[in-house]
A = this chain, B = another copy of it.
Amino acid sequence: MDSSKNKHSDHMTEFELIARLAEVGASSNVENSESILIGIGDDAAVVSTPFGQTLLTTDAMVDGVHFRSIDERWHDIGWKCAVSNLSDIAAMGGIPDSALVTLGVPPAASADTFAELYSGMNEAFELFGGQIVGGDVVSSPIMFVNMALTGHPSINASGVPICLLRSEAKLDDLVCVTGPLGGSAGGLEVLLSGETNPSGEILIDRHFRPVPRIEVGNKLVAFGVRCGMDISDGLVGDLEKIAKLSNVEITVNMANIPIVDEMMLLFGARSITLALSGGEDYELAFTAPESVVENLTAKKVEFSVVGRVTGDGSTGAQVIVVDEKGNLHEPIRKGWDHLNG
């Protein structure tokens, strides 16, 4: 690419690019667009077909950006690629169906590498549903893996298919997460430091072997939750997406955020920063009225209440973090820009 002609090169963020592409998309396909129920902006697209609703999502991993080929953890990389897609289906409360896998294959790659990668994907699909049905293999100077995954919505107590959406948070909803945060980011730091100890290994495992919350997502739909997403880019950054699409203000109570025990051991007070901003935990964040949340507890769904929807947007669609005394805390880093890191 002739970068000298790219005036915007130093400043383009992932969000600017997606907004621009959404504009291009909106200006065309007018005839077809009625069938898109949920387009760009949520975890997965939702498309209406004559036969029901289909969920569609895609996620790619690139050598040197999302993984390091020198680690040679091919099975884990396959697992994580599948999980990042499965988690998008979980984020919608859906059920995974069919995966297509594209492999970018460098000149020196071996078939063993990709066979291990595939076995990692298959392990995840066997545990959480879905299956690889096809794909593409292309020559590439660098290794990359792209997965596209389809799914379908699960049904609520009335038998109606429902998707968890980012746009459904309401004033006074409780804000919840399905498990401890920051473990993946902590694991990455341990990995990069090169130091090993048992606590560190547990965190590295959280980095390489995240779990998609398919089952919990289905339960959330079954028990009446309407607003949710997965935490792939960091709690604060991801809740900001809910705040923006629901036009609400969310207040997070820092002291209530669940953190993996090993994080406190290794990172002390900095654990909370990693929990607020670290990506790739793949837990779900959701909001629901108190009565629905109480029912979830009664039904033994596991989660933690971490905040509340405290404004209807007249105060700004934003996320505020407060400490245990109610003092404002400024998060050091808000989420992950996939283009600028």
* A interface residues with partner B (beta carbon < 8 Å): 1-3, 5-9, 12, 14, 16-18, 20-21, 23-25, 28-29, 31-33, 35-36, 39-40, 44-45, 47, 49-52, 54, 56-66, 69-70, 72, 97-98, 100-115, 118-119, 122-123, 125-126, 129-144, 146, 148, 150, 152, 338-341
Contact = CB atoms under 8 A, between A and B. Distances in A.
A65 to B, nearest CB: 5
Contacts of A65: 138-141
A100 B49 CA distance: 16
A91 to B, nearest CB: 13
B140 A1 contact: no
A164 to B, nearest CB: 16
A304 to B, nearest CB: 29
Given A12-B111, A23-B115, A29-B125, 13 more contacts: A1-B63, A1-B109, A1-B143, A17-B103, A21-B137, A24-B119, A35-B131, A36-B133, A40-B134, A47-B133, A56-B133, A59-B102, A105-B339
A134 B91 CA distance: 15
Say how many copies of this protein the assembly contains.
2
A142 B24 CA distance: 23
A142 B52 CA distance: 38
Classify the secondary structure of A's interface with B: mixed
Contacts of A50: 52
B105 A17 contact: yes
Contacts of A57: 100, 134
A121 to B, nearest CB: 9
A103 B138 CA distance: 15
A58 B133 CA distance: 11
Contact of A338 (B70, B133, B139): B139
The 6 closest A-B pairs by CB, nearest first: A51-B51, A3-B108, A148-B148, A6-B110, A45-B134, A45-B133
Contacts of A137: 14, 17-18, 21, 338-339
A154 to B, nearest CB: 13
A214 B66 CA distance: 37
A111 B20 contact: yes
A51 B140 CA distance: 37
Contacts of A144: 104, 140, 144
A7 B339 contact: no
A60 B144 CA distance: 11
A55 to B, nearest CB: 10
A179 to B, nearest CB: 24
